[in-house]
Structure 1
């Protein structure tokens, strides 16, 4: 009888284990802009866009001055820092203590990744960091309130590059291409225009002509123009697509 009960309970727990096994919590950092003083990008959680990122520029993975190599890393949560919650990457080649956390400038990191809601490439700066970080934390726990337990998840961080935010082409095949810092090159003449901000929806560009501003939707849609830096914005007729 004991053997039968033991077999039953072992089978029961094995079946239950199929239902409560750890789920994947995948953070994907897509580096979109390489600048002289920083690398900026976008962070997705399980495929959903959450915020922007800021890292050091790529310097061949040199300690303290370079971003880390692109690739896929396992990660864990650390609770022992001042902010009491950080995502730390495991087994980064020749680096240690690489984490996602709050901050605004490359001078605050030595290989870590900062998160934020606004990017200023010219200034090598990210803003709205605490708000973005709290949203990241809420996504992990599945609640905006104070969590009562830590979820059983396998954390994975993917870091990759894309040209999807560095090139836009209209229906006439006229191209906008990101160069570096805040510079966008327009048309076959490669005319210089200046980006002044990115938020969660748009990339904002000051056109080289007087009193003309554009904003391109980050994830596809109609570009808009205005005569003032902060709008009001009017929709243009030409649809811009991102190069993939």
Structure 2
């Protein structure tokens, strides 16, 4: 039986974007930015709160990324680098090192590498990784 690991994303919602922080076993991994909550409308809303299984996804544009395949009514949801949700995201989640405003942050590539290192190490040990998203 595979070991199940759970990352927790705690979010706050704003008009210009959704900010959050990802924790693993109580330790902060990185902050996140997403689009504002617009009732899960594809391409303009963050994804709904809930529990999602993470999986590897291969994309021509982004290479191999952490995917969130089972989002109701959505497709191609990824965790990938971006520093401005309104300009760079279409419903995906972007890790950032520092939050600089609603839906904005910096050093996203660095935060993504840290998150990927953790998730890939859990996968490499044969585990399953889940992301639980909830409000603060």
Alignment partner of 2:48 out of 69, 78, 90: 69
Whether contact under 8 Å (1:25, 1:140) holds in the other structure is: no
Shift of 1:81: 4.2
The answer to whether the 8 Å contact 2:40/2:47 transfers is yes
Distance 1:95 1:121, change over 3 A: same
In structure 1, the residue matched to 2:74 is 95
User: Aligned residue for 1:181?
Assistant: none
Counterpart position of 2:126 = 152
Map of 1:19-168 to 2, 5 A cutoff? 21-32=1-12, 34-106=13-85, 107-121=87-101, 124-142=103-121, 150-162=124-136
Question: Larger RCO: Structure 1 or Structure 2 (Cα < 8 Å, ≥ 6 residues apart)?
Answer: 2
Q: Does structure 1 conserve the Cα–Cα contact (< 8 Å) formed by 2:10 and 2:20?
A: yes
Q: CA deviation at 1:112?
A: 0.4
| TM-score normalized by the length of structure 1 | 0.51
Structure 2: 5+ residue runs without aligned partners? Answer: none
Q: What are the residue-to-residue correspondences of 1:1-20 with 2, within 5 Å? A: none
What count of residue pairs does the alignment treat as equivalent?
Answer: 135
> 1:81/1:23 Cα in 2 relative to 1: closer, same or farther (>3 Å)?
farther
Runs of 4+ in 1 over 4 A off after TM superposition: none
Name the larger-Rg structure.
Answer: 1
Residue 135 of structure 1: how far off its partner (Å): 0.7
Q: RMSD over aligned Cα, in angstroms?
A: 2.0
Inter-partner Cα distance in structure 2 for 1:81 and 1:151: 27
Question: Cα offset for 1:83?
Answer: 4.0
